[in-house]
Structure 1
Amino acid sequence: MTADRRELTRLEQTIDRAAHRWLARRPESGARAVAVECAVFLLKQAWACVFGALLLVAIVAARLWYPDDAALARNDALTIAAVLIQVGMLVFRLESGRELWVIVLFHVTGTVMELFKTDVGSWAYEAEGVLRIGAVPLFSGFMYAAVGSYMVRVYRLHELRFTRYPRVWLTTLGAAAIYVNFFSHHFIVDLRWVLLALVVLLWGRTIMHFRVWRARLRAPLLAVFAGVALFIWIAENVATWGGAWLYPHQQGGWELVSPQKLIAWFLLMIISVVMVTWVYPPRAPDPSAEERAERAGRPGRPA
């Protein structure tokens, strides 16, 4: 896994030590080395997505197999499943207490938005169950928490570092403006295109540095935001097919979620990243590690 062990949970430290022993025998160059880096990247991404993946499995399973006439409403069953997943993440040391604070922030932020959006008819949930606030079942907040869980886990698994990252107070103001626009555009002009321009202005020059195994890679941060937004949009299509919620155009039968939602998810990624930086302040890459990698003429090995 090759992450900073000080930021890993106890279980992840055990996995990390085992991975180091096995990967140490792998070649340092050639096609097999590239294959190892790709495999480690995919495994780290899967590990980071474990909360969201388990929740998505529960949603699909409820759609396929949960009986319509069950005494416990399906939405309530999903809420209980989400709580059990969250408890399991903590009991089995898959999350740290520090991460839990970020996840709670996502949960609260998402639930407030859900209450408003369902009230104005942006989307709707089945009107069933007792574990809900108004028309919003409590499991909906866990879907936002799943995004938060992914963000904080990726931060430490890939040892994310940034060059030319804007000042956190500026990004906080930008994220606040984006969040307000999710509400205000129902009453006044939609400023999402102005906010997109603001995002480009703030993060356009920011480069994200991340480690896989031996490889130290970098990518424009906005491109990473766009990639994650696309991944969430795909998961959203699975979730709406599973009946977790429905958009107005899906009331007569499931249809693909509008690609325009990609913009909303991209902007939500900005809010997500900013909230993570409140707990994990953005750090610059280690110059010595970068210099060692360049001198060696190949990706840097772990220190």
Structure 2
Amino acid sequence: MVKTLQLQTGQLFMFGYQQALSCLFPALIFASLAILKVFDVPYTYDVMLVVCLLIQWIMVKTGLETRDELKVICLFHLIGLALEIFKVNMGSWSYPQEAWTKVWGVPLYSGFMYASVASYLCQAWRRLHVQIHHWPSSWLTVPTGAAIYLNFMTHHYIADLRWVLTALLFIIFFRSAVTFRVRAITYRMPVILSFFLIGFFVWLAENIATYLGAWQYPNQREAWSMVSLGKMSSWFLLVIVSFLIVAQLKHVKSSESRGQEPPVSASD
């Protein structure tokens, strides 16, 4: 009994340690925002852009991040920046501080907030030896991911389809599972559960980020308040888009390294 408890405690500690290393990029972003807030540094958004670029350079140079992971992060930066420009100009949230590096009201550093999610996924994938089982066909995942991303924009003009898309996800991924290894022991969980857990922790991170002034929702203009629980559904869907892109890129890279054509799906 004691040995079992020690083993479980050791596994939990190692899992937490690997997760902490995987969260290094977003953790450094939060730490930088906190320091800038405490010392009331002007032009925070411009400083944060320099900080994010410096962090990325150090992580690649020290081997904490691979060049392939950097490419994924750059892709997510562009995808996130495009979404930010649209949502800010629709009034969903704002960046009230002055900055030289703003484009259509959006500071360029904001793309790194999305890229930090991709950084976590890539790092955790590598450190925990993640594998996916019964992955649906790309003919299902790619259009679904695109529909989720577009719904973040189109719901301003037509009906919000997030709940329809969420129900569709449960149908598409009902057989899919993800396995990860901690030391020599492999664990398994449903893919949908992993989406929800990551989305929940991103929502917690969003509360920290808005408190530190990373951006501002309309109800936070007078004073900071907790981000609505309803936003968790948005992060749940956004995490799925991120996961789909990273998974597809991982499969393509794996196939290329074997000298094969990329597979349509990653099923067992």
TM-score, with length taken from structure 2: 0.91
* Residues 235-288 of structure 1: CA deviation (Å, up to 9, x unaligned): 100000001111011111000000000000000011001110222127568xxx
Of 45, 64, 78 in structure 1, the residue corresponding to residue 19 of structure 2 is 45
User: In the aligned structure 2, how far is the partner of 1:226 from the partner of 1:60?
Assistant: 27
User: In the aligned structure 1, how far is the partner of 2:157 from the partner of 2:55?
Assistant: 38
Correspondence 1:1-303 to 2 at 5 A: 29-67=3-41, 70=42, 73-281=43-251
Quote how far apart the aligned CAs of 1:205 are. Answer: 1.8
Equivalent residues, number:
254
User: In the aligned structure 2, how far is the partner of 1:168 from the partner of 1:273?
Assistant: 13
Question: Structure 2 vs 1, CA of residues 32 and 246 (structure 1 numbering), >3 Å: closer, same or farther?
Answer: same
* Residues 73-99 of structure 1: CA deviation (Å, up to 9, x unaligned): 111111111111111111111111111
Aligned residue type for 2:81? T
Which consecutive residues of structure 1, in runs of 5 or more, have no partner in the other structure?
1-27, 286-303
Aligned residue type for 2:245? M
Quote how far apart the aligned CAs of 1:213 are. Answer: 1.2
Mapped contact 2:34–2:212 kept (Cα < 8 A)? yes
User: In the aligned structure 2, how far is the partner of 1:88 from the partner of 1:240?
Assistant: 26
- SS at the partner of 1:188? coil
User: In the aligned structure 1, how far is the partner of 2:100 from the partner of 2:195?
Assistant: 36
Which consecutive residues of structure 2, in runs of 5 or more, have no partner in the other structure?
252-264
Aligned residue type for 1:47? L
* Residues 139-182 of structure 1: CA deviation (Å, up to 9, x unaligned): 10011110010011111111111221111232111000001100
Q: Identify the range of structure 1 (28-37 vs 211-220) with the bigger mean alpha-carbon deviation.
A: 28-37
Mapped contact 1:98–1:279 kept (Cα < 8 A)? no
TM-score, with length taken from structure 1: 0.81
- SS at the partner of 1:279? helix
Aligned residue number for residue 259 of structure 2: none
Mapped contact 1:161–1:208 kept (Cα < 8 A)? yes
Mapped contact 1:118–1:135 kept (Cα < 8 A)? yes
User: In the aligned structure 2, how far is the partner of 1:56 from the partner of 1:275?
Assistant: 25
User: In the aligned structure 1, how far is the partner of 2:238 from the partner of 2:199?
Assistant: 8
* Residues 178-211 of structure 1: CA deviation (Å, up to 9, x unaligned): 0110000000111111110111111122111110
Mapped contact 2:179–2:189 kept (Cα < 8 A)? yes
Aligned residue number for residue 11 of structure 1: none
Mapped contact 1:209–1:216 kept (Cα < 8 A)? yes
- SS at the partner of 1:217? strand
Aligned residue type for 1:225? F
Quote how far apart the aligned CAs of 1:109 are. Answer: 0.5
Structure with max Cα Rg: 1
User: In the aligned structure 1, how far is the partner of 2:132 from the partner of 2:248?
Assistant: 15
User: In the aligned structure 1, how far is the partner of 2:68 from the partner of 2:57?
Assistant: 15
**Identity score, percent:** 37
Give the RMSD, CA atoms, in angstroms: 1.5
Shift >6 Å, 4+ stretches: none
Aligned residue type for 1:154? A
Question: Structure 2 vs 1, CA of residues 31 and 284 (structure 1 numbering), >3 Å: closer, same or farther?
Answer: farther
Mapped contact 1:127–1:135 kept (Cα < 8 A)? no
